[in-house]
Structure 1
Amino acid sequence: MTEPAGEPLAAVVVPIYGVVDHLGECLTSLARQTVAERLQVVLVDDGSVDGSAQVAASFADGRPGWSLVRQPNAGPGPGAARNRGLRDVRAPYVLFCDGDDVLEPGAMEALVAAATRTGADVVVAAARQIPRPRTWRWTHLFEPLDGTVLTGDITDFPDLVHHPAPGDKLFRVQLLHERGLRFGEGIHHQDTLVTVPALLGPSRLAVLREVAQGYRRRGDGTSIMDNHFLREQNTWDHLQVVERLATLRPTLPPERVALLDAFLVRSFQGFLARAWALPAEAAQQLLTRARAVYASVDPELVVDLTDGPVHALPYRAVLADDLAGLRDPAGSATGLDLSEPDAVRLRVQVDPPWDRALSLGRLRATADAVVVDGADLVLRGTVRLAGAPALHLLGAPVSVRLRGAGRTVPAVLSPAAGAEALQTCRFEARVPLAELPLGTAALRVVVTDGEHQRSGRMALAEGAERRATGPDGRVVRSGADAEGAAQVSIEPPPPPPPGRSARLRDLGRSLRRRA
């Protein structure tokens, strides 16, 4: 490694495994930092087999301050690679950047300036998700994006506790060493074991209202987050994480214990809600271990922080040591309550405060197939009611409304595949083409509870636009309006092609005009 000019201002550690398609963009963003000549960059190849190591070597070779460390794969997860890189850091500050993310050109300069000006132990900057933007629970802390720096501790920025990813955070290296903070090795979700204790401890924090990181959500099934709930081992990995974090309670003052509990509840709710998919013996093990973590958590806090009954009721089962309730948290539900004009609730008998956890969110559907099958128009897709178990489990009647065509037809429900089966089901609805008038009809999904109804927007899945011809010759088109809502258009049959005599007559007219 060639040394950077002078002492490095900060270090960037990049764990590398299976990111050959994005690594060049990541490392280019580091090389183009405004303080690039003052950075130490430690690349750690974690036994890559896809060419990532060669890309890393091409960047590290001869570049001042850059080094490449190679090790056998120590996954799953990048924790061991991050810890190995931290061993080589000589700078006073460090940022951990994944090999598929990018840093904005002035990110490191702004982060280091904020740290040195405020004396912060941790500086947290804003991030943008790529390629599709999104907002998070903590986004409001960085608004407006005007480059200002706020200082305080975690009680001043409580929503930061729910943001354990390290890629937009600059850590004082001395803090990590003094508190013995290291990433978990051989598990996913290992970054939490560094970031959450660093945020919750007696640390001075700075919030930089400037975008530093481009956080990549690949969405192609190749990253940890793409398979967050599909991989059963992730449940046990995250259980290890919350078990270790729970040991912090005796070291924290009460207001920070409450923040720790808030993180423990929100971060594990998605895994606990999927306990229904575990075998009985595994579910019992999960119940026993989870109860040890959550027995002291206030149920009111659980109700306030979980995303509806499908996530709150499993915690109720854990606190009650109820294995049957954990494996089937909606088993006692008798359907939906739509009696209140502006509310949808799960119909189930529970004691306070759990009765506050029964409110549900929006009803939404996506049409992924609009086809002509014989004399019928067939609509297929997925439907979910936010916070509720899958509607087919509740026996809730669902219909599809063709608004503008004056037709509402019942839908047949079936389980969705994979991790989506918890809250999502598939639907199929058929309507005779002969009953549909010419024109365009917007598609809506409708759920019914006796005499009460709720309807929801239906989107059109990408690639679901179709054109088909019905048995009567009319043209059926599926598409979306300007806001992405699904719609179906019925058009009259196209005019028949002209016959031979008509073609000869048109040709004669054309020749006479030319003459």
Structure 2
Amino acid sequence: MSQASRDVTVVVPFRDVQTFFAEFLQSVAAQTAFARAHVILVDNGSSDQSVAIAGEFADRHPNVDLVSQPQGRAGDARNMGMDMATTPYIVFWDADDTVPEGSLEVLRNTIVKTRATVVVGREKHVPKPVKAPWHKYFGKSVKTVSSVVDIPDLIHSASCWNKIFDLDLLRSQGIRFGTGTAFEDAYVSLPALLLSERIALVDAPVYEYRRRGDGTSVMDTIWDLPQNYADQLVMLEYLAGMRQQLTPYEQETLERFLVRSMQGFLLRAPRVFGEADCRQLFERCRTLYWGITSEQFARSTNDTRHRIPYLALHYGDFDLFYRPASVLGSVFGREGDLYVDYPGTSWGLPLTKVTSVPARIEGITAGEGGTAVIHGRFSLNGFPDELLAKLELQVWFERSGKTVPAVNHGQAHDRPGEAGAVFSVTVDPRDFPAGSFPVRLVLCTRGRDVSRPCAISPALVQQQGAGGLHGLARLTAEGGNAQLVIESTQH
């Protein structure tokens, strides 16, 4: 196929990927639309055999160019490739992944037929699948929308490798990759999605992202490296600068990404940085997130523990951000729900609602005088483990009319790294009628008491044997939750 008939540019930056490079290039050459493509391989400063592998590949294929951009990072290399492109469409792939053989043809045909400026396909993560929030939008046919507002969770698809772009959109809007930084894809994907007037989704696997087994993938150290926090914040500040050119609905969609993509960093920052550096991060984030509603924060975060940092940002409470156990007191119940007790206004209620109270029964032993002692563990999402010992607990045995005070033993150190506190409750089987009684942990609060079911593992049920304790009491499971079974009421 002649050079004039090529209509897709494939830009591939690479650096020291000799282990994976040949396999990737083989998948590129196997593309059914390979002849239509101009492939630009950009060496980003390799010191292994990657350049030799790329050179041999370029020598065999006249539509492949090998160039060098030894300075900067992947974003600099991608920008160089984009500047060289002369085709109407462009894709950006990574040299340590693989591409299903029909990917380029599917993406190219879809952008031509739909006249979209961005087309998004499915990506596959190997070896472990990942379910992303935007996957719900894919259907059996191509879906076209006029704005990302119509499919707002697509804003979280920040990577470029599962997309094809209209090159004129990128150039006319001045959209370029971040340089000298991690997370460079978001500088292109998000502005393109926000500014595109036609987006198409095609339900076809167009990319295979490889999570390396040697711990060198970006995601393996994303929370550990201080520079990642700086790069993430700079990227979000850059994107926040787009707000004035967006409609209110587009701004709200962008805010979803601004909040969701930073939640993991904010949660872990106090463990990564000293107090002075953490305070600088805190103040910059206060500016970044000022004006976002508590409902948006709640909607865009996973759970309570990820929401507390945003609560701290809103109220300017650095101690809540850096040392939450010194600020939070207890919990209170309201209409069957639990809330972290923080002395703010009603604005913060959506962020203080406890999203989960994992409680499980871990054993039953014989107590004194024919009693049985039930042992369990519990935690409150978003509530510091070191404060759990302050909570007053009871155990309610549904349908029995019995609610028994429990002993809260606080944090247990027998299982390093496992969250939560342990509790125990002593019951006398002879005080119960015969029957089966669901076990619920009751948290006594300054508001209403709140109860949650206690889970139990099938292994624990089997370990007890058929006889139970003294022939009177045993634990069983129904729907994964614990049941206290009283076999008889001998006195």
Say if 2:154 is the partner of 1:157. Answer: no
Code of the aligned partner of 2:86: R
Q: Is the 8 A contact 2:379 2:385 kept in 1?
A: yes
The change in CA–CA distance for 1:416 and 1:352 in structure 2 (over 3 A counts) is farther
Counterpart Cα distance in 2 of 1:315 and 1:182? 30
Selected match of 2:212 from 218, 223, 226 = 218
Shift of 1:96: 0.8
Shift of 1:54: 2.8
Equivalent position SS for 1:123: strand
Equivalent position SS for 1:138: helix
Q: Percent identity?
A: 31
TM-score by length of 1: 0.71
Code of the aligned partner of 1:65: N
> 1:20 maps to which residue?
18
Say if 2:177 is the partner of 1:183. Answer: yes
Q: Is the 8 A contact 1:13 1:82 kept in 2?
A: yes
Say if 2:267 is the partner of 1:273. Answer: yes
Say if 2:122 is the partner of 1:126. Answer: yes
Say if 2:202 is the partner of 1:208. Answer: yes
Counterpart Cα distance in 2 of 1:4 and 1:385? 65
TM-score by length of 2: 0.74
Code of the aligned partner of 1:180: G
> 1:501 maps to which residue?
none
Selected match of 1:82 from 78, 81, 90 = 78
Code of the aligned partner of 1:223: S
> 2:236 maps to which residue?
242
Deviations 1:403-440 (A, max 9, x none): xxxxx99998579999xxxx9649999xxxxxxxxxxx
Counterpart Cα distance in 2 of 1:306 and 1:275? 16
> 1:69 maps to which residue?
67
Deviations 1:46-84 (A, max 9, x none): 112343333323322221211222232523xx2111112
Say if 2:287 is the partner of 1:292. Answer: yes
> 1:464 maps to which residue?
none
Equivalent position SS for 1:274: helix
Residues 338-417 of structure 1 aligned to structure 2 (within 5 Å) = 345-362=339-356, 387-389=381-383, 391-392=385-386, 394-395=388-389, 413=411
The change in CA–CA distance for 1:208 and 1:386 in structure 2 (over 3 A counts) is farther
Shift of 1:384: 9.2
Q: Is the 8 A contact 1:14 1:99 kept in 2?
A: yes
Equivalent position SS for 1:47: coil
Counterpart Cα distance in 2 of 1:337 and 1:292? 31
Counterpart Cα distance in 1 of 2:298 and 2:408? 34
Code of the aligned partner of 1:241: M
Shift of 1:487: 8.7
Say if 2:317 is the partner of 1:322. Answer: yes
The change in CA–CA distance for 1:427 and 1:318 in structure 2 (over 3 A counts) is closer
Code of the aligned partner of 1:352: S
Counterpart Cα distance in 1 of 2:257 and 2:418? 26
Q: Is the 8 A contact 1:122 1:203 kept in 2?
A: no
Counterpart Cα distance in 2 of 1:304 and 1:26? 38
Deviations 1:221-248 (A, max 9, x none): 2011111111111111111111111111
Equivalent position SS for 1:134: coil
Shift of 1:365: 11
Q: Is the 8 A contact 1:42 1:68 kept in 2?
A: yes
Shift of 1:107: 1.1
Q: Is the 8 A contact 1:149 1:207 kept in 2?
A: yes
Code of the aligned partner of 1:110: V
Counterpart Cα distance in 2 of 1:211 and 1:487? 46
> 1:508 maps to which residue?
none
> 1:313 maps to which residue?
308
Code of the aligned partner of 2:130: R
Shift of 1:113: 1.0
The change in CA–CA distance for 1:115 and 1:396 in structure 2 (over 3 A counts) is farther
The change in CA–CA distance for 1:182 and 1:395 in structure 2 (over 3 A counts) is farther
Selected match of 2:137 from 141, 144, 164 = 141
Counterpart Cα distance in 2 of 1:417 and 1:186? 42
Q: Is the 8 A contact 2:44 2:69 kept in 1?
A: yes
Deviations 1:236-262 (A, max 9, x none): 111111111111111111111111122
Q: Is the 8 A contact 2:389 2:409 kept in 1?
A: no
Equivalent position SS for 1:182: coil
Q: Is the 8 A contact 2:134 2:153 kept in 1?
A: yes
Selected match of 2:39 from 23, 28, 41 = 41
RMSD of the alignment, in Å? 3.8
Shift of 1:146: 2.6
Say if 2:261 is the partner of 1:263. Answer: no
Say if 2:83 is the partner of 1:96. Answer: no
Equivalent position SS for 1:67: strand
